[in-house]
Amino acid sequence: MAPWEGLGDFYRESIGRGGIPDHAFWDALTGFFGGQNKRENVAAMVDKYPLYNDYWDDKKPKLRNIQVPLYATASYSTGLHTEGSVKGFLLAGSHQQWLRWTTTQEWHDLYQPENVDDLQRFFDHYMLGRDNGSKEYDAATHRSEVDIGASFNIKFERYTELCGFSPLKLFMATPDHDDMDVYAIIRKLDSAGNVLYYYNIPFEHLPGDLCASDIPHMNIFKHTGPNGRLRASHRAITHEDLPGFDDIEYKRLMSDA
């Protein structure tokens, strides 16, 4: 199977990230892509069930049951699928799996000829039994290279890459309220302190003679940086049984909800 970007937990990764119900995106999506027949109103359901329950659990795939060869992709810059793609890869039960990190917007990556050819090679090997070298990627992680530097409020003296989960530990209080929603984002600054953006689609693949100021301020085209959110009362981790994972590994992989 080839899940090129996806969600592994609809509540935790999308409509209720960090235990904060937020259905603005799904309101827009329903308006744009609704068909002629009826469909489930997930926005109304998160208003009805703002906390994780059996309704949301029913929408969570049993990733440990995946046993077939798996070729997944995950992008650094998508606002929707990064967490689900990575966790889906890490939690899948397959013993033959390959994760390819992408450095452009997911739709752009999907249709690049070299990536389509690579996917064909994967299917030819595992579905048709062709000896074309795909087996060398079994149980491995491949990372697309991108030659950019990084500078945050912590100054790096040499070229540095930050890869993996970015945990943030805060000690906060709100004496006038019984709860609070916390949002965090990592922003990249240049040596002069100017905020930088990552452009998800290479300029040479955009129409016309566009410059940076012409690019719309939308996640499809720009990435401001990885972000997280958490309702303070949801800081504890809900445990579920995942065969093959101990408590430490589970807490490292699973977000609060």
User: Side-chain half-sphere of 154: how many Cα atoms within 13 Å?
Assistant: 3
CB burial readout 32-51, b (16+ within 10 A) else e: eeeeeeeeeebbebbeeeee
Sequence-ordered list of residues with C-beta below 8 angstroms from that of 95, at least 6 positions apart, any chain: 67, 138, 139
Share of the chain above pLDDT 90, in %: 14
Q: What is the DSSP string of 94-141?
A: -SSEEEEEESS-HHHHHT-HHHHHHHHHHHHHHHH---SSGGGGTTEE
Topology of 10-146 in CATH? Rossmann fold (3.40.50)
pLDDT tens track for 74-106: 887 777 788 888 888 888 888 888 888 888 888
Looking at residue 50, its pLDDT comes to 93
Looking at residue 145, its pLDDT comes to 38
pLDDT tens track for 140-197: 444 433 333 333 367 778 888 877 777 778 788 888 889 888 888 888 888 888 888 8
Looking at residue 133, its pLDDT comes to 67
DSSP label at 178? S
pLDDT interval class at 49 (50, 70, 90): very high
Looking at residue 253, its pLDDT comes to 65
* Sequence spans of domains, the chain: 10-146
Looking at residue 191, its pLDDT comes to 81
pLDDT tens track for 226-250: 888 889 888 776 666 666 777 777 6
User: What does the pLDDT average to over 58-85?
Assistant: 86
